[in-house]
């Protein structure tokens, strides 16, 4: 979807931003347009990063209206001004629609107000309308200053001194309707709200055998409707980009009644508020309800979610996304020259990128144009790879073809869970089973991992058996940490007895070790010479070959929610510091990202060794902070970060050293991090990655079928499917050995360690931040067919 990315040239080594000074610069930050959860995290990051690089930072209250009105609406802020706003939904600096900014007179007044305070750098958080307005303001800037000088409102020196306006945008919109960025700020939180409601509605619908029609936001973009339909396994979805074909009324009613005939007690239909038919006529939730009642006589209810979707506290993903974007925005402003076009900072995969603002806006408008002109296939393509992928996966999993239309391959594929339970495992199993059946295979479920396999706990599993699994936490199939080495002969027997031609293993580090053991045993047992694929699922996120694992996002949200509650428990009491222990084995992902999402002061992890001097420095740093208006401190510690500096030790150290300034409490979060309903991200990620893994199995089965049997004994027939930067990649497990620290069960290199300094900067530490990964502007490009094959998520 984007052009080539230029990175720091080889041999130059990392580039640090110490040489980027903001001295003498003034940055204004504003939120405009509809509010979105996570905007405050972005504001906080801009303010703190700005102050960190010695720039002046100003709040512009009430969006563009405040910029036009001036006065108390534009205020210089300090470090403490953004304390405790990270977990607050909406925007604390207010947002307003502003008619006067659309006129040149309004923009002239705004320019005057900014020049009075020396602000020539603007960070705008809003939708495409707000960002287009900012770009126009930038283009007119020098003309506006000339006009002010002619009127005698500013002098010629000011015209020269403030000659250029730099603009960086961040997209805050729950609809995810902005092209060029994978996720906009607020989208993930809105999905959380929708999924919470769907989960609640499912229980009542089940009791009464009801059909529910849910209307979600998205006037011009069906992202929320599509992803929530994928995440809850809805029966039907209506979105503006992909209207149903002629005669959809009949097809939908047939589908609903078939589902009831299969003993399904409820139906869920999701409608985007901007849904249309192929003649561009609106399809409303009421219309869908009336149709179901008239044709089928089902007891049907409509629920319109409305502004609930904008509300509530931001998810962990949105907080981290907004914090990363806020820091990147300040770097972009510091590096901007008069020749730099206005840019938006955005996320692609897990990479922060900068894109020219107007290219993104043009592409976003192209989508609308394509929809208005009935070019729907093109509209879906223009939305980007991720959207197209979601749509294709939904179509694949929601409609079962009649048996007569399914291909017959005569292959048997077994699915099993290995390791500790992780939220999202069941969504992955459901996707694997349904894609497998669609591809013509017979699917088998193995109960209780490799141990159950050895005992013959294996049964055929059908399309209907996995209905309603996406929202279930834990592992319905049952999972064990046992490795296959001591059961090899028994597992080989079972593979022979049940004629298993391929294996799909969903699990954590044990699953990875298990596949290594099975492939090593191929010399002795021919039964293991079949295609095997692993899908990473563990809360620890410690599997080599993948940046993310199914379950880690849910655990991160649990940690973030708990930290919010713990911090709130101390409001109104005297100053207090909390020491919180997280899971993760030796992998510090949860502690580090949890600290970033919860706004912690420190996170102790195994990957970054620390000594008593560092602990002492942290205590002193917190003591200094507590002497200001800051009331609460938060310290996260990974369970295995150091065998001697235990949670108790750190708690006692902080208690002793903080005497008279703050008191201390400790909390061990424990197994609550493994439980709970999976987050929308984990349901979605689990569904898509598993569907892709199953398609790989089908391809390998065709390639390795010779003389009536499957024989696969090469390294590339035992793979792990992982998310790497921007793409999903199949990697032979044998090749991942060199990337693995087997003693501590972690990858040797972990991408998220680059975000460590980010957390420290936002907690007021002096540190160095490697910015060689950020920097150059990329271009928004239509994605090529090859890119679609590599499969971005």
Residue 665 annotated as part of some ligand binding site? yes
Of 42, 7, 61, 18, residue with least CA distance to 329: 42
Residue 481 annotated as part of some ligand binding site? yes
Contact between 533 and 545 under an 8 Å Cβ cutoff? The reply is no
Residue 273 annotated as part of some ligand binding site? yes
DSSP assignment, residue 276? B
Residue 585 annotated as part of some ligand binding site? yes
Q: Which residues of 365-381 are buried (b: 16+ CB within 10 A; e: fewer)?
A: ebbbebbeeeebebbbb
Of 92, 551, 555, 541, residue with least CA distance to 316: 555
Residue 618 annotated as part of some ligand binding site? no
Residue 478 annotated as part of some ligand binding site? no
Residue 673 annotated as part of some ligand binding site? yes
Residue 539 annotated as part of some ligand binding site? yes
Residue 538 annotated as part of some ligand binding site? yes
Residue 583 annotated as part of some ligand binding site? yes
Of 468, 462, 88, residue with least CA distance to 311: 88
Residue 540 annotated as part of some ligand binding site? yes
Residue 290 annotated as part of some ligand binding site? no
Angle (CA) 787 792 793, round 5°: 160
Q: Let me know if 339 is exposed, middle or buried by CB neighbors in 10 A (0-12, 13-18, 19+).
A: exposed
Residue 98 annotated as part of some ligand binding site? yes
For residues 617 and 176, what is the distance between their CA atoms, to the nearest angstrom? 42
Residue 639 annotated as part of some ligand binding site? yes
Calculated CA dihedral for residues 566, 570, 572, 576, nearest 10 degrees: -150
Residue 32 annotated as part of some ligand binding site? no
> Which stretches of 145-264 are assigned E, i.e. beta strand?
166-171, 211-216, 236-238
Contact between 196 and 151 under an 8 Å Cβ cutoff? The reply is no
Q: Which residues of 518-527 are buried (b: 16+ CB within 10 A; e: fewer)?
A: bbebbeebeb
Residue 307 annotated as part of some ligand binding site? yes
Residue 309 annotated as part of some ligand binding site? yes
For residues 173 and 190, what is the distance between their CA atoms, to the nearest angstrom? 10
- Look up 290 and say whether it is catalytic: no
User: CA-based diameter of the chain, in Å?
Assistant: 92
Residue 542 annotated as part of some ligand binding site? yes
For residues 30 and 169, what is the distance between their CA atoms, to the nearest angstrom? 10
Residue 584 annotated as part of some ligand binding site? yes
Residue 324 annotated as part of some ligand binding site? no
Tell me the CA distances in angstroms from 253 to 104, 284, 296, 300, one per residue in order: 54, 16, 7, 13
Contact between 519 and 529 under an 8 Å Cβ cutoff? The reply is no
Contact between 174 and 221 under an 8 Å Cβ cutoff? The reply is no
Residue 601 annotated as part of some ligand binding site? no
Residue 301 annotated as part of some ligand binding site? yes
Q: Regarding beta strands 502-507 and 412-418, do their DSSP bridges make them parallel or antiparallel, or are they unpaired?
A: parallel
**What kind and span of H or E run contains 391?**
helix 385-398
Residue 218 annotated as part of some ligand binding site? yes
Tell me the CA distances in angstroms from 113 to 47, 104, 122, 694, one per residue in order: 20, 14, 13, 59
* Catalytic site residue from 35, 69, 175, 553: 175
Residue 308 annotated as part of some ligand binding site? yes
Residue 174 annotated as part of some ligand binding site? yes
Cβ partners under 8 Å of residue 531, min gap 6: 501, 502, 503, 696, 697, 700, 701, 704, 710, 712, 717, 718
Calculated CA dihedral for residues 681, 683, 684, 687, nearest 10 degrees: 150
Active site residues: 175
Query: Binding site membership for substrate: which residues?
Result: 173-175, 210, 217-219, 273, 301, 307-310
- Binding residue positions: 34, 97-98, 127-130, 173-175, 210, 217-219, 273, 301, 307-310, 481, 538-542, 576, 583-585, 639, 665, 671-674, 745
**Which residue positions form the known binding site for Mg(2+)?**
128
Annotated binding site for ATP: which residue ranges?
A: 34, 97-98, 127-130
Give the residue ranges of the annotated binding site for beta-D-fructose 2,6-bisphosphate: 481, 538-542, 576, 583-585, 639, 665, 671-674, 745
């Amino acid at each position: 979807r984007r052009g080539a990315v230029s990175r720091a040239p080889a041999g130059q080594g990392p580039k640090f931003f110490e040489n980027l000074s903001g001295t003498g610069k003034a940055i204004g930050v504003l939120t405009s347009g509809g509010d979105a959860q996570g905007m405050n995290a972005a504001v906080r990051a801009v303010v703190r990063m700005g102050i960190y690089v010695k720039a002046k930072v100003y709040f512009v209250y009430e969006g563009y209206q405040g910029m036009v009105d001036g006065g108390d609406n534009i205020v210089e802020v300090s470090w403490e001004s953004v304390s405790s706003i990270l977990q607050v939904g909406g925007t604390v600096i207010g947002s307003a629609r502003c008619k006067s900014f659309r006129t040149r007179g309004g923009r002239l007044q705004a320019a005057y107000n900014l020049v009075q305070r020396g602000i020539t750098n603007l960070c705008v958080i809003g939708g495409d309308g707000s960002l287009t307005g900012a770009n126009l303001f930038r283009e007119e800037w020098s003309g506006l200053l000339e006009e002010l000088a002619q009127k005698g409102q500013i002098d010629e020196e000011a015209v020269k001194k403030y000659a250029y306006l730099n603009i960086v945008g961040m997209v805050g919109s729950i609809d995810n309707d902005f092209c060029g960025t994978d996720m906009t700020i607020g989208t993930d939180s809105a999905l959380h709200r929708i999924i919470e409601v769907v989960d609640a509605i499912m229980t009542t619908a089940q009791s009464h055998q009801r059909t529910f029609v849910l209307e979600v936001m998205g006037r011009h973009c069906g992202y929320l409707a599509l992803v929530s339909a994928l995440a809850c396994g809805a029966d039907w979805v209506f979105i503006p980009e992909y209207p149903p074909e002629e005669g959809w009324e009949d097809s939908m009613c047939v589908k609903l009644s078939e589902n009831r005939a299969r003993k399904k007690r409820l139906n869920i239909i999701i409608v985007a508020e901007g849904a249309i038919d192929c003649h561009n006529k609106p399809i409303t939730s009421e219309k869908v309800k009336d149709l179901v009642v008239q044709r089928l006589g089902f007891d049907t209810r409509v629920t319109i979610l409305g502004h609930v979707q904008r509300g509530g506290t931001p998810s962990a993903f949105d907080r981290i996304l907004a914090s990363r974007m806020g820091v990147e925005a300040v770097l972009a402003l510091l590096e901007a020259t008069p020749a730099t076009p206005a840019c938006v900072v955005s996320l692609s995969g897990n990479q922060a990128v900068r894109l020219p603002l107007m290219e993104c806006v043009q592409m976003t408008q192209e989508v609308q144009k394509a929809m208005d002109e009935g070019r729907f296939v093109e509209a879906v393509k223009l939305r980007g790879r991720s959207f197209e992928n979601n749509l294709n996966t939904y179509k694949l999993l929601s409609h079962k073809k009649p048996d007569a239309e399914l291909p017959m391959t005569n292959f048997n594929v077994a699915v099993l869970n290995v390791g500790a339970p992780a939220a999202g495992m069941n969504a992955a199993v459901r996707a694997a089973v349904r894609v497998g059946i669609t591809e013509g295979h017979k699917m088998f479920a193995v109960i209780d991992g490799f141990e159950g396999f050895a005992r013959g706990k294996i049964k055929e599993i059908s399309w209907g058996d996995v209905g309603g699994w996406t929202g279930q936490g834990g592992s319905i199939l049952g999972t064990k940490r046992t490795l296959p080495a001591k059961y090899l002969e028994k597992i080989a027997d079972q593979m022979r007895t049940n004629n298993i031609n391929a294996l799909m293993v969903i699990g954590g580090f044990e699953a990875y070790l298990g596949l290594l053991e099975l492939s090593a045993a191929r010399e002795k047992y021919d039964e293991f010479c079949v295609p095997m694929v692993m899908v990473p699922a563990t809360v620890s996120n410690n599997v080599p070959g993948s940046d993310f694992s199914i379950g880690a996002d849910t655990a991160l949200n649990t940690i973030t929610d708990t930290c919010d509650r713990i911090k709130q428990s101390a409001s109104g009491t005297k100053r207090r510091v909390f020491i919180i222990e997280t899971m993760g084995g030796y992998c510090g992902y949860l502690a580090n990202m949890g600290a970033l999402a919860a706004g912690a002061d420190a996170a102790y992890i195994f990957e970054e060794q620390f000594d008593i001097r560092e602990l002492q420095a942290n205590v002193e740093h917190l003591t200094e902070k507590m002497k200001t208006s800051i009331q609460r401190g938060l310290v996260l510690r990974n369970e295995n970060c150091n065998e001697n500096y235990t949670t108790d030790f750190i708690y006692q150290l902080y208690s002793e050293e903080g005497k008279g300034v703050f008191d201390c409490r400790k909390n061990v979060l424990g197994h609550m991090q493994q439980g709970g309903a999976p987050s929308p991200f984990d349901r979605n990620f689990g569904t898509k990655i598993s569907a892709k893994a199953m398609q790989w199995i089908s391809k390998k089965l065709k390639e390795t079928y010779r003389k009536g049997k499957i024989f696969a004994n090469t390294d590339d027939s035992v793979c792990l499917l992982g998310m790497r930067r921007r793409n999903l990649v199949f990697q032979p497990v044998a090749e991942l050995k060199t990337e693995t620290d087997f003693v501590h069960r972690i990858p040797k290199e972990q991408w998220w360690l680059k975000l460590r300094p980010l957390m420290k900067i936002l907690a007021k530490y002096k540190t160095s931040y490697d910015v060689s990964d950020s920097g150059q502007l990329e271009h928004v490009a239509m994605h090529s067919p090859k890119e679609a094959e590599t499969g971005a998520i």
